[in-house]
A and B are shown apart, each in its own frame.
Chain A
Amino acid sequence: ETGVTQSPTHLIKTRGQQVTLRCSSQSGHNTVSWYQQALGQGPQFIFQYYREEENGRGNFPPRFSGLQFPNYSSELNVNALELDDSALYLCASSTGPESYEQYFGPGTRLTVT
């Protein structure tokens, strides 16, 4: 196990609702990256947080937002959920933005109906 935890494990939401996913980074890690993995696809980079600031963003709309707290845990918020948001959401923590070692959590499976 990597020491990275995510909650909840599974979640079912209705289109138009809002959702918050949580990630606790490994001890000593100050950087959290979030990825979206649709069924049968590779993960896609959503954004990264480093020392409580957004440090890079992938091709995702503004309704995907995040936060990082002083203890370096992080939240991913998605507003106005769409059916295509159904996916596995993975977070990965690392010792810095350029560290090649990223440790992934088990993911949150989001289903939007």
Chain B
Amino acid sequence: AQKITQTQPGMFVQEKEAVTLDCTYDTSDPSYGLFWYKQPSSGEMIFLIYQGSYDQQNATEGRYSLNFQKARKSANLVISASQLGDSAMYFCAMRDGAGNTGKLIFGQGTTLQVKP
């Protein structure tokens, strides 16, 4: 069965520093997609970054980068130059590659707090 594991319930980072949020996944499908979403206290899930299982390079989107290590089945999110507005819940998710629904399987989430 497909599974996403986020082992860090909470993280603190000083403003302007970089932080890494961990994510490991488990799947037997050769084709899958990995996502990171940010969820502020307002509740809306905000898409941050996507990595396909066949992508050769690590995905980057502005201050966000995804450290994709396929052999280790990890997809860690790196946020550079943290800002106070980055304080939120972060979810790693995997898309079911075998199905045709684009169904997302989410991890438990990591709460990030940025200190001034």
| Complex contacts, A72 vs chain B, CB 8 Å | none
Shortest CB-to-CB span from A69 to chain B, Å, is 19
Size class of the contact patch on chain B: 20 to 34
| Complex contacts, B101 vs chain A, CB 8 Å | 33, 45, 48, 55-56, 97-98
Q: A42-B91, A42-B108, A100-B33 are in contact. Are A90 and B102 (CB under 8 A)?
A: no
Inter-chain CA distance A97–B96, complex, in Å, is 11
Inter-chain CA distance A109–B43, complex, in Å, is 9
Instruction: Give the residues from 67 to 116 in chain B that come closer than 8 angstroms, CB to CB, to chain A.
Output: 91, 93, 95, 99-109
| Complex contacts, B107 vs chain A, CB 8 Å | 42
Is B45's CB under 8 angstroms from A104's CB? yes
Pick the contact of A105: B44, B47, B109 (CB < 8 A).
B44
Is A102's CB under 8 angstroms from B102's CB? yes
| Complex contacts, B109 vs chain A, CB 8 Å | 40-42
Is A55's CB under 8 angstroms from B100's CB? yes
| Complex contacts, B52 vs chain A, CB 8 Å | 100
Chain B residues with a Cβ under 8 A of chain A: 4, 33, 35, 37, 42-47, 50, 52, 91, 93, 95, 99-109
Smallest Cβ-Cβ distance to B42: which chain A residue: A106
Chain A residues with a Cβ under 8 A of chain B: 2, 31, 33, 35, 40-45, 48, 55-56, 58, 88, 90, 92, 94, 96-107, 109
| Complex contacts, B46 vs chain A, CB 8 Å | 104
Is B100's CB under 8 angstroms from A2's CB? no
Inter-chain CA distance A98–B99, complex, in Å, is 9
Is B104's CB under 8 angstroms from A45's CB? yes
Q: A33-B103, A94-B102 are in contact. Are A102 and B47 (CB under 8 A)?
A: yes
Is B102's CB under 8 angstroms from A41's CB? no
Smallest Cβ-Cβ distance to A48: which chain B residue: B101
Inter-chain CA distance A96–B52, complex, in Å, is 17
Is B45's CB under 8 angstroms from A56's CB? no
| Complex contacts, A99 vs chain B, CB 8 Å | 102
Query: Beyond the given A56-B101, A105-B44, could you list 16 further A-B residue pairs with CB under 8 A, ordered by the A residue number?
Result: A2-B44, A40-B108, A40-B109, A41-B108, A43-B104, A44-B106, A45-B105, A48-B101, A56-B100, A58-B103, A94-B102, A100-B52, A102-B102, A104-B44, A104-B46, A107-B44
